[in-house]
Chains A and B, each alone.
Chain A
Amino acid sequence: MSPFAPVSRRAFLASSGMLVVTVGAASMADPFEAVVRAQAGGPYPDPDFRQLDSWIAIHEDNTATFSVGKTDCGQGTGTAFRQMMSDELDIAYDKTTCVMGSTDDTVDQGGSGGSDAIQTDGWPMRRVAAEARRVLLEMASAKFAVPVEALAVSNAVITVKADPSKRVTYGALVGGKKFHVALTGANIDATTGVAKVKPVQALHYVGQELPRYDIPAKVTATQKWAVDVKLPGMVHARNVKPPVAGATLVSIDQSSVRDLPGFVKVVSKGNYVAVVCEREEQAVTAARRLKCEWKKPDAAPFPKSDDLFTYMRGATATSAQRPIVHGDPDAALKGAAKVVEAQYDMPFQGHTAFAPAHATADPSNGQMTIYSNDMKSYGMRNGVAEFLQMPRDNVRVVWVEGPQGYGRTAADDAGFEAAYLAKELGRPVRVQWMRDEETGWDTKGPAFTFTMRGGLDGKGNLVALDYEGRSADYNHVGYNEADTVLIAQLMGVRKAKPSPGSAGTPSDMYEIPHRRMVSDVVSLPMPFETPVRTGNLRDPNGPQITFAAESFIDEMAAAAGADPLEFRLRMLKAGTGDDSGLKRARSIACVEAAAKAYGWEPRPSPKRSHTGEILTGRGMAYSFRNQTVVAEIADVEVNRKTGRVWVKRLVCAHDCGLVINPLGLHRVIECGMLHSISRALYEEVQFDGEKTTGKDWVTHPSLRHADTPERIDIVIVNGDPNPNRPDLPHYGAGETICKPMIAAVANAIFDATGVRLRRVPFRAARVLEALKAAGVSA
């Protein structure tokens, strides 16, 4: 039997008339209920964000449900939302639940992305909760015929101050009923009522280390994941991808699968091919057995990955941003006492989600419901409606949890595929990619190549910096776009104006008087239907840019014979320019906090003694993203015989303003740093001239338990010059963590060995080769 037992549950709920369920956390997050509602034909209009009832429901038992338009990709944001909203509503945290991310249940806050959940979306959540509290106080005021000022509220109970025997709960005032209160605001982010949010000092749950509410289910196998969705009549699909990029489908030999057990159908349009079977393993087998004839493209779709950077440097830019110039960098470089030049390369890196992309779609009754872990469920709804040419309100996406989502993953693609196949079959379809598809064909963070020049004056100050960053990011795919999802591209859809892509510039607060920053984008020879397609990956360009920028600052410090941390602090403290978000002060605070936590003793890099098999070193790097500042330090061990690098110790100083949940933040920082170490040491999308060659965890390695640092120190910093201000903002925490880490590791390897690695990843063979070339190997 299905663990979801959908049929009996549906029958029960249908008979009790609970087609719209508003009670409890389980209601809308629970696919049980979603299954129930899938039987209705729709339409499913958006909840009205200007109605308080779209955000908050108070129940008769004096509990509350918060409905928010975000998705939690595993970083505990739901717990943080409850903390913020419980505080503003004045209700006990454990009397609340949070519902997230399904298009017809929650307002469209965009799902997740950009580390903006707390920074941006937290504000309307706080304001609507404060408004609900205000409205409840008004109701109690009318009930007791006293002014609001005469009332006190605590834990969802309102009392008359002068006569505490007069008390009423939120549940008694509005439980099970609607507020019918209109909100204002030009858009969802600006949604507000009349009430003001509380000052930081009046927040009770904010700042507490509450455990995540979703973790118990995840360690007891009671969590229902998107992969667990089972629907009556559901069939299983597997894709058959072109064997090489840009191949054209010539013919399909249906007889190769027609007699297989459980075979249902081959679905194909353009170069998109899928096989559908009754059972999952049957679909896996049929997809392997299906014989297709493909014609290779006339020209190579991309260079070999070993030749990528030569290609990128020689290609004509498809777009170039206007250079950002301060001072006169050419003259300053000409007049410099010492000039350093360096070139850095960072390959394409994939999401390579732990669970290959998947989704289940139900086409019953003329509507389309997609069960997906995609972090932008609202966008998927719009995109699928456009792709299938269905009325938007007849498409909905039920968000169910899935594997890590750090940007534009292939979950987008799988959602569209499931919907397309369900429409073709007229039955619910569950599609899941196989491991080689996920590793080969998921979206990639763009490759970059950088050229940098820096000039020191006679005192060792960095007076000129010339930065040129170039990314292979043309036709960057957006989120859930009907004309860039993979199935559309394989069907021959081409965006009229492909995305120009982006490159970007370093994020630091250094005072460098003469500076030029240039960034442009190049295209691979074949920008469509390719497994080397770019999309957002955890701060789309920041880790690449910061690898180059903060490696180069380290090179300049070494050239100056300066301690690399003091060299940075000197440039931070010299700053006098605009300091929006107080980032300079907070940068200084973070760098100093990291140094203190580490126990940093000033000395120049590299260490000079190279004895023994293991060389040790330390490296630091710093950056910011939006308003969040991070300084990180890595200790490494480099094996001179094998080239293996072990990051032994990590320190992170992190300032994201007001911290909602320090425990949750701590875990996010810990894991974000390790993800970046995986990118520093192992991850690279490799390809020959016609296909990606990474297929699994052997051919596309990732960080493992054996690589785990033995010690991690995290310092949560509040570097605001007025740290106790009542309006201290909460900034986005996640992606900034990933920016400095790769450079910190490179800088530590340099400190240990005197060898500068300018090409990511630092796999053992590459490190050993560099050590040998420098005469440092053992």
Chain B
Amino acid sequence: MSRITLTVNGRAHTVDVEQSVPLLYVLRNDVGVQGPHFGCGLGQCGACTVIINGAAVRSCVTPCSSVKSEITTLDGLAKNGQLHPVQRAWIEEQVPQCGFCQNGQIMTATALLNRHPNPTDAEIREGMNGALCRCMTYYRVHAAIKRAAVLLRADAATPETAGKGGAA
């Protein structure tokens, strides 16, 4: 066992676990966040996605000891009580069916929008392709990503209104 310190959604957590334990289990069972989910444990489906250094990372195949930077999970995407534009877009488009995979959809989309603030259809298809959904919300996810891109630009233009609305 090793003492490992992780910074998750702005807070430091020190846990006592084996270094090789996948980050997912530490996040869920020790840190206590519930955004990232177990879907395959193989890095194939995206359920466990977190954001590290702006990029989407599969926490189920990431040893917890390898993470040195801050981890953002879906639990920490909203800031100061205001939903992230991607979350607002998801609610406005009524994306989820069961919702279990949506952590992967939302976190992958957020990272995609970091890279491509105005993504094309092709960029969305390619960038999201590893985020699986068995309810098949894909079509609506695409619509929500485009809506989120608009909301992000609007927030950037008028920062004082950032985060308003969306809690439908």
Contacts and interface: CB of A to CB of B under 8 A. Distances in A.
Contact of A220 (B28, B74, B94, B126): B74
Given A667-B137, A696-B42, 14 more contacts: A218-B96, A219-B102, A221-B73, A281-B22, A353-B134, A404-B97, A404-B98, A434-B41, A435-B39, A663-B94, A670-B137, A697-B44, A704-B129, A708-B139
A216 B134 contact: no
B35 A221 contact: yes
Contacts of B99: 74, 214-215, 218-219, 223, 401
A279 to B, nearest CB: 7
Most chain B CB inside 10 Å of its own CB: which residue of A222, A280, A352, A710: A280
Contacts of B97: 74-75, 404, 667-668, 671
Contacts of A677: 136
Given A215-B96, A404-B98, A227 B138 contact: no
Given A281-B25, A712-B139, A74 B98 contact: yes
A432 B94 contact: no
A674 B139 contact: yes
B140 A670 contact: yes
Interface string B102-123: 1100100000000000000100
B34 interface: yes
B125 A708 contact: yes
Contacts of A492: none
Residue among A218, A221, A704 having the largest count of chain B Cβ atoms under 10 Å: A221
Contact of B132 (A401, A670, A702): A702
A704 B132 contact: yes
- Centre residue among A218, A353, A664 by max chain B CB count within 10 A: A218
A331 interface: no
A215 B91 contact: yes
B42 A678 contact: no
Task: Classify the secondary structure of B's interface with A.
Answer: loop
Interface of B: 1, 18, 21-22, 25, 28-29, 32-35, 37-42, 44-45, 47, 73-75, 77-78, 83, 87, 90-91, 94-103, 106, 121, 124-126, 128-142, 167-168
A401 B99 CA distance: 9
B75 to A, nearest CB: 4
B136 A674 contact: yes
A607 interface: no
A24 interface: no
Contacts of B103: 221
Contact of A402 (B35, B77, B98, B139): B98
Contact of B100 (A220, A402, A434, A678): A402
A696 B138 contact: no
Contacts of B42: 435, 696-697
A708 B135 CA distance: 13
A12 interface: no
B34 A354 contact: no
10 contacts: A219-B87, A219-B95, A219-B96, A261-B1, A402-B98, A435-B40, A674-B138, A697-B40, A702-B134, A703-B136
Contacts of B132: 354, 697, 702, 704
Contacts of B87: 219-220
Interface residues of A, number: 64
Given A352-B134, A354-B132, A705-B141, A73 B98 contact: yes
Nearest to B32: A3
A289 B39 CA distance: 21
A71 B19 CA distance: 40
A624 to B, nearest CB: 22
Contacts of A75: 97
A580 interface: no
Interface in A330-366: 352-356
Given A218-B99, A354-B101, A435 B41 contact: yes
B76 to A, nearest CB: 8
A354 B134 contact: yes
A39 to B, nearest CB: 22
Contacts of A280: 25, 28-29
A671 B38 contact: no
A224 B34 contact: yes
B39 to A, nearest CB: 6
B75 A401 contact: no
Given A354-B101, A404-B97, A709 B90 contact: no
6 pairs of A and B residues whose beta carbons are closest in the complex: A74-B98, A218-B99, A674-B136, A221-B35, A74-B97, A705-B128
B128 to A, nearest CB: 4
B38 A355 contact: yes
A678 B41 CA distance: 22
Contacts of A667: 94, 97, 137, 140
